Chain A
Amino acid sequence: MSTPRARALALRAEFEAAGARVVEPPVLQPAELLLDLYGEDIRARAYVTSDALRGEQMLRPDFTVPVVQMHMADGAEPARYTYAGEVFRRQEDDAERANEYWQVGYEVFDRADPPAADAEVFTLIASALTHLPLHPVTGDIGILMAAVDGLQTSDRRKAALRRHIWRPRRFRALLDRFGGRVPVPESRAALIAGDVTSTAPLTGLRTQSEIDARVAALRADAVEPPIGAQELEGLEALLAVRETVPFALQQLNDLSVDLPAIKPAVRRFSARAEALRARGIDVDALAFEASHGRTLMEYYDGFVFAFYADGRPDLPPIASGGRYDALTRRLGGGDEIPAVGAVLRPGLMVELEGAP
């Protein structure tokens, strides 16, 4: 039986043969950048250590961020990278889950034809997994973002919704509020009416002008009409789409009547489906879930996918990936490039291969 390490290196060699350059990011990553990108939740998931010179460092929780940084610093275009190595994840809730495991990845930075790049990554990962009983699920965060951006409401509300696409429960609470389906909290109504005052001295960094600006924003929002029922229902129907790709496309086209802003994103979805078909993927049987990826990493902003083991809901995905154009913008210092990538977990592959 193969070891996770041997399997990882073999996969990396395949990806290298497919045209990717091998890269080896360091195990220790500056914590500040990862914290800034992921927020406090990363502390619950990554091991943090420190020294007096470099400050807080994290044992790499993934490869994508260092690979993007490296590419944005001095990468030629277009570029394809592959890597294999261990990642480290703190586990606080489930002692059965690995806290140290191998990942093999493939990342594409290419402006030419994003749907084709999506299909290239998906197909490469799928071809490494054909011998295993897995089922892929795909999604598209870009369609959700386009739907939010297209709502007939204030920019402030759209920004609030966009910020919480990855927190489904909070997203729903905001939709209910902006749709006028729940009453304004009492304390907020009193504040808007001018009934809340304080004589306490203001302490801390947040200034009076910041407080005044928020109160003014809340007052402006109070007279903003609710998001219309038709748009709300359209958005909810969109979030609930769960079909094979051809039926999903049909539903998305229907929904774009009420949500015209999603049309360009739906066209990209359709182009991707064709690119996948051209590469031999059985698109007619491929699952699409509009909400897939909403609980994954916050940096995905387009195509997302994962491969799950049949009959093993206890296992994390055997492979997962997606498009992260916005991350290249965040790390690019004014530069950006369309990018898509995925990782495999060779340890889980070996485990499944050994299963009777």
Chain B
Amino acid sequence: MTIKLGVPSKGRLMDKTFDWFARRGVTLTRTGSDREYAGAVAGIDGVALVLLSAGEIPRELAAGRIHLGVTGTDLVQDKLPLWEQQVEPVVEMGFGHADLVLAVPTAWVDVDLTDDLDAVAAMFRARHGFRLRIATKYHRLVREFLRDAGVADYALVDSQGATEGTVANETAEAIADITSSGETLSANHLKVLSDGLILASQATLWRSRVAPLADADRSTLFDLIERLH
């Protein structure tokens, strides 16, 4: 048996993850051709590298098919109900910062707080005959946030990409999306509500609470976690 470590399979997130582990004496490498998703681990025995899409890592952790995995807080919290029971954060890795925020048109001078958004949603529904639409792909997180904030008379519409464009395209009145710098938002004439931070996310190393562990694996896992802190 080995400890399986799930890591994003491409892009900046993979590169930064490799760098982060390298600084702690654990060398992760991709093996074979560029197109082949196989990898190797040097610097510690008994650990295998599994390259996966960042979006699939929460599910694999929850299923216990990998012991450790690197992915964003946003993906874990949105994809896993009762995530605390299935995974545990080991260490925040200090990169991949992204905030899930609620944004409305900048020209809505009367809207600065979720309290305003709720009032506007009521007026919008009375005027247009349907609920104020909020475009997002983070349905669970956004719904829970709005429930806690006491916002009513809205509807979530699914948007898997180019979410900032939905308002100008008149398929939504507001959006909830990940932003790192806010530039895309302002380029699309949108502003973040003052109390509209739904989640501050960053790349995080997670441990599965359900992956089976043989005794030998257990000590490997604790050694590895020790070195990474």
Residues of A within 8 A of B (CB): 35-36, 39-41, 43-44, 92-93, 95, 159-160, 163-164, 167, 169-170, 173, 185, 187-188, 191, 196-198, 200-206, 208, 210-211, 213-215, 218
Q: How far, in angstroms, from A197 to B110 measured CA to CA in the complex? A: 9
Query: What distance in Å separates the Cβ of A130 from its nearest Cβ neighbour in chain B?
Result: 37
Specify which of B108, B113, B116, B120 lies most central, judged by the most chain A CB atoms within 10 Å of its CB.
B108
**B110 nearest CB neighbor, chain A only:** A214
Q: Is the Cβ of A203 less than 8 Å from the Cβ of B112? A: no
Please give the distance in Å from B181's CB to the nearest CB on chain A. Answer: 18
Q: In the complex the two chains form, is A201's CB within 8 Å of B152's CB?
A: no
Residues of B contacting A210 in the complex (Cβ-Cβ under 8 angstroms): 123-124, 127
Assess whether B228 is interfacial by the CB under 8 Å rule: no
Contact check, B189 vs A35: say whether CB atoms are below 8 A apart: no
A310 to chain B, nearest CB (A): 29
Q: Cβ of B218 < 8 Å from any Cβ of A? A: no
A164 and B112 contact, CB distance less than 8 A: no
Whether A170 and B150, one on each chain, are in contact in the complex, defined by CB atoms closer than 8 angstroms, is yes
Which segment, of B31-39, B69-77, B166-174, faces chain A? B166-174
Task: Give Cα A40 to B106, complex, Å.
Answer: 25
- Give the chain A neighbours of B173 by CB distance below 8 A: 204-206
Selected from B109, B110, B168, the residue in CB contact (under 8 A) with A203 is: B168
Stretch at the interface among B5-13, B42-50, B153-161, B208-216: B153-161
Q: Is there contact, CB below 8 Å, between A92 and B140? A: yes
Interface string of B105-134 (1 = CB under 8 A from A): 111111011011011101110011001000
Report whether B107 and A201 are in contact in the complex, using a CB–CB cutoff of 8 Å.
yes
Q: Is the CB of A39 within 8 A of B154?
A: yes
Contacts beyond the supplied A160-B119, A200-B107: 14 A-B pairs with Cβ under 8 Å: A40-B156, A167-B152, A169-B150, A170-B118, A185-B113, A187-B113, A191-B109, A196-B109, A198-B107, A198-B109, A204-B172, A205-B173, A206-B173, A214-B120
Interface assignment of B147: CB less than 8 Å from any CB of chain A: yes
Are A205 and B128 closer than 8 Å at their CB atoms?
Answer: yes
Check B81 against A191 for contact (C-beta < 8 Å): no
- Bound-state CA distance A41–B140 (Å) is 10
Whether B82 sits at the interface, judged by CB under 8 Å, is yes
Contact of A191 among B110, B115, B122, B143 (CB under 8 A): B110
- A95 near B82: Cβ-Cβ < 8 Å: yes
- A95 and B139 alpha carbons, distance in the complex (Å): 19
The 8 closest A-B pairs by CB, nearest first: A170-B150, A200-B106, A187-B112, A202-B107, A204-B167, A203-B168, A214-B110, A92-B81
User: Nearest B residue to A44 by beta-carbon distance?
Assistant: B143
Bound form: Cα–Cα A100–B44 in Å:
48
* Nearest CB of chain B from residue A214's CB, rounded to whole Å: 5
Complex CA gap A193/B18 in Å reads 53
CB-CB under 8 A from A40, the residues of chain B are: 131, 143, 146, 154-156
Contact B113 A206 (CB under 8 A): no
A44 to B156, CA, bound (A): 11
Whether A173 lies near B168 (C-beta < 8 A) is: no
B194 within 8 A of A: yes
Closest approach, in angstroms, between the C-beta of B209 and any C-beta of chain A?
14
Residues of B within 8 A of A206 (CB): 105, 108, 120, 124, 173
In whole angstroms, how far apart are the Cα atoms of A173 and B114 in the complex? 13
Q: Note all chain A residues with C-beta closer than 8 A to B146.
A: 40
On whether the beta carbons of A215 and B107 are closer than 8 Å, the reply is no
Determine whether the beta carbon of B105 is less than 8 Å from that of A163: no
**16 A-B contacts, Cβ less than 8 Å apart?**
A39-B131, A41-B143, A93-B81, A163-B122, A163-B152, A167-B152, A188-B116, A191-B110, A200-B106, A200-B107, A202-B107, A203-B105, A210-B127, A214-B120, A215-B109, A218-B110
Q: A40-B155, A40-B156, A200-B106 are in contact. Are A188 and B122 (CB under 8 A)?
A: no
B140 nearest CB neighbor, chain A only: A92
Q: Collect the chain B residues with CB atoms within 8 Å of residue A93's CB.
A: 81-82
Closest to B129 in A: A36
Query: Nearest Cβ distance between residue B77 and chain A, in whole angstroms?
Result: 12
Given A93-B82, A202-B105, A35 and B122 contact (CB-CB distance below 8 Å): no
Q: Which residue of A lies closest to B172 (CB)?
A: A204
Q: For the complex, what is the distance from the CA of A227 to the CA of B180, rounded to whole Å?
A: 43
Q: Given the known A-B contacts A202-B105, A206-B108, are A39 and B152 also in contact in the complex, defined by CB atoms under 8 Å?
A: yes
Q: Which residue of A lies closest to B168 (CB)?
A: A203
B143 and A43: CB pair below 8 A? Answer: yes
- Taking the closest CB of chain B, its distance from the CB of A156, in whole angstroms, is 9
Chain B residues closer than 8 Å to A163, beta-carbon distance:
122, 152-153
Please give, as numbers and ranges, the residues of chain B lying within 8 Å of A208 by CB-CB distance: 107
CB distance from A176 to the nearest CB of B (A): 12
Contact call A214/B143, Cβ cutoff below 8 A: no
What distance in Å separates the Cβ of B78 from its nearest Cβ neighbour in chain A?
11
Distance in Å: Cβ of A186 to nearest Cβ of chain B: 9
A35's nearest neighbour on chain B, judged by CB, is B155
CA distance A203 to B104 in the complex (A): 10
